[in-house]
Amino acid sequence: LDHVIPFAAISEDGRELDQLDSKSELAHRIMLTNLLRLLGCIKAKKVETGCDTRPAQVLLPLSPNHGTFGADGLYSESKLALETLFNRWHSESWGNYLTIAGANIGWTRGTGLMVSNNLIAESLEKEGIRTFSTQEMAFNLIGLMHPRVVTL
């Protein structure tokens, strides 16, 4: 296993603090808890098989949205929590089995999560705010998987 790209999210548009519900909990489990469990399973299988010479690279789907947009349920909490994995990589015992790269996903047009904001993307770009097409973001992500980057 060379790469793990655990990109999954459920839109929670319109969910403010007083509107968190079971869908918010499901989204949080998908974006954080189950991602951590997946990485734990990969580590356990590598330990079981004695595969500690080539760590699998994990591309963490980070976000610059740390609550900035608001009304998006537990999205920002899930993404912020993923950032702790950079510290845990040093302090826990799985560094020989997994390596971490953070992909801070910017505003990507044409995705399900950003569909409600796509209408204003062109206007924002005229004001100097950078947005990405899905092809541009895919190119950036593939760049993180280049062998020269992985060996850093």
SS3 96: coil
Q: Is the pLDDT of residue 139 over 80?
A: yes
Apex CA 11: angle with CA 113 and CA 127, to 5°?
35
| pLDDT tens per residue, range 40-58 | 999 999 999 999 889 999 9
CB contact at 8 A, 81 and 37: no
Q: Hunting for tokens 């992500």 — which residue is that?
A: 141
Residue 10 is given by DSSP the state: -
pLDDT of 146 over the 90 cut: yes
Bridging pattern class, strands 56-62 and 98-104 = parallel
Residue type, 33: T
Q: State residue 42's pLDDT score.
A: 98
C-alpha gyration radius of the chain: 17
DSSP 3-state of 95: coil
Q: Taking a C-beta distance cutoff of 8 angstroms, is the pair 104, 63 a contact?
A: yes
pLDDT given at position 77: 96
State the average pLDDT for the chain.
92
C-alpha span between 150 and 152 (Å, rounded): 5
| 94 token code pair | 């799985």
Query: What would the pLDDT profile of 92-123 be if each residue is shown by its tens digit?
Result: 999 999 999 999 998 888 887 777 778 888 89
